[in-house]
Structure formats: C-alpha cells, structure tokens
Amino acid sequence: MRRPAVTFSLFFIFVALLFGAQVSSKTGKKKSNQTTAGNSFNLECAKLPFDAIAVKPDPFAECGNCGVVSAKAQPGEVAPKAAQSHAKNNFCADTSKINTVTVADLRAFQTQAAQKGLVSTDLPDRSKLVVTLNGTSITEGSVVRLVAWVQDAHLSDCAAGEEVNCNISGSAHSDIHIVLVDPAASGGRNQDECSSVTAEMSPHFRPVAWSQLNKKIPTSNVVRVTGPLFFDNAHVPCRGLIQVTTGPNKDKPPFRSSLWEIHPVYDFAVCANTDPGKCAVNDSAMWKAYDQWVNDPMSKTTATKVTEGCVEPGTQAPDSVPAQCPNKR
C-alpha cells in the first residue's frame, strides 16, 4: 500500500531537482553575461568611513577586492597586480590619525620613492612603500588629508574598464579620477595638469552625490580630500611641472606630478570661502560635505558634461580572471 506513495514522492523530488537545476543554469548564464569576475566584494571592516551616505548594498559587489588580472599575465605579474588592486580597495584604513599633506609633499614622496628604487610597474612587496613626512615615517595606507583646487574630474577608463574594477566598462563600474592642483601656486584651477596630483572615488558603495562630481566640479572653492595614501605604480609621472607635448620624451596620460595619490576617497568637502587662504584644513567650520554643498543652489559648479566615452550598460573585457588577494593588506 505504501509503494505508490513512495514512488510518487521520488518522482516529485526528481522533477523539483530538475526544474531547480534549469533555473540555476539560466540564472548563472545571465550573471556570467554581466561579469565573469567570480569573486564578490567583501568589506574588510565593520563600517565604511562614509557609512552615512554610502549606497548599500554595494551596487558593484560582483567585483572582488582584488579585481581581475589578464589571463595572459606573466606569473611574476599576477601577485603584484592583485596587491595593487587590494590597496586601491582599502576602505578600512585607520582614520584615528590623519596626516595633513600638501601637493608639494606628494611630489617629495615621489622623489623619495624614486631614490629607493620603488618606481616600478610591478612591486612584489608593497610594505616597502614608506615615506617621510616632517621627520615621521608614513606608509601606503596611512590616511592623509589634502586641500586643493579640482581642475577636472572624469570617469576613469570608462570605455574599457580597469583591472581593479574587473575590466567592466560603464559609469557605475569606473573610478572617478580627480585632478587636483596646488592652491599655494598661481593660476588657480588653470595650472598645467602635469603639476597635478590625483584622488580617486571608487565605484564600491559610492555615494550618489559623489557620482555627480565629474559633471559638477566646484569652480570657485577649493576642496578637502581625505583617504588612504596609495602609490599608483602602474603609471609614469610627468618629467616636469609643464607638460611636454612633442618629441620622444613627451609626457603620457594620465598626467600628474606624483604617483602618490589618495585612493579611495573617504571624505570630500568644499570650503565655505572662495579664498583658499582662509580654508584652514582642520577648521571644521570652514568645510561643507560635498553631498550637501552640491545641492545648494548658490554653489558654483562646471556645466554638465557628456559621460566620457562610456559603453553602457557595462560589459566585461574578455580574458579576465579573478585575482587572488594577498593574505595581508
């Protein structure tokens, strides 16, 4: 008497498993069309430094902490590239101690790195990235704060993507590259880009207001940028503070005077005064968070720009494989 019931139950289970496998297959196929990154992003601390305005859950969670590397990368290149991406995705640096730096300081750090032989596209040991500031040693990952003019802000590698962002194109998957110039120098925002330094806003958890920066750049006020120090050894700095545009030694983009940058941005604020000389870096009364400032009708910004060379929606470049993160940051 029991056998028909058992047979029916087994048949029902078989059909359910088959249907589930088909659904899983279709879901997996859909996801692989979006990205083949393979690893999901893991916030390596309890709270984001900009937690109150962060977009959650992370809209770019499909790209892991160390991005991807090319399937054609040489064995000696894989670990350094993964470590570099991991450093770019450092949302957990110690903010209890913030080092105030200037554009001139970041240039001095570049000189120190060159003297130590650290200007190399592949750095197997990033723990050697140590510089001296006012007699004190600071390392990559130390939190710094900089006051500067924003000369420009644009989506970085939006058309093709970059390894840290899993080689996925599109505005939602691209860093916002911020060109910063010295408020102590003449020329205001119109200084040569080769005199600039860089900050980057990551797409992970990026606040909605920050995603407007490439279209709404402060034009009359300097900004204050806070975040971990990062050495972008994938690039080459300009030879001088004036861009060389011709000849065999011409400078190549992205133009900057130092490979030391702020990446990722933890805090972005705009000075309440149009006179940079009155924008003391640690005077909290002088600074207004960009997400509040940009919504003030009195704020002066650049005109809206067309999204730069983006392929929307984002697609992933072929021949990318997930990068294995190092054991320690």
pLDDT digits (tens, 9 = 90+) for 259-289: 999 999 999 999 999 999 999 999 999 999 9
Half-sphere exposure of 39 (CA within 13 A, CB side): 20
Q: Residue 92: name the closest of 129, 133, 26, 42 by CA.
A: 42
Q: Residue 70: name the closest of 62, 59, 80, 60 by CA.
A: 80
* 24-63 per-position pLDDT tens digit: 333 333 333 344 455 899 999 999 999 999 999 999 999 9
Cα(258)–Cα(1) distance, integer angstroms: 82
pLDDT at 243: 97
The model carries a pTM of 0.88
Query: For residue 139, which amino acid is it?
Result: T
Residue partners of 31: CB distance under 8 A and separation at least 6: 62
Q: How confident is the model at residue 3 (pLDDT cuts 50, 70, 90)?
A: very low
Cα(155)–Cα(174) distance, integer angstroms: 6
The stretches of the chain forming alpha helices (DSSP H) are: 3-34, 75-88, 103-115, 290-293
Residues 212/291, Cβ–Cβ less than 8 Å: no
* 105-155 per-position pLDDT tens digit: 999 999 999 999 999 888 889 999 999 999 999 999 999 999 999 999 999
pLDDT at 240: 96
With 90 as the cut, is the pLDDT of residue 315 above it?
A: no
* 185-199 per-position pLDDT tens digit: 999 999 999 999 999
Lookup: tokens for 62: 């499909």
Q: How far, CA to CA in Å, does 264 sit from each of 32, 103, 193, 229?
A: 27, 17, 20, 9
Each domain of the chain, given as residue ranges in start order, spans 51-319
Q: What's the CATH fold of domain 51-319?
A: OB fold (Dihydrolipoamide Acetyltransferase, E2P) (2.40.50)
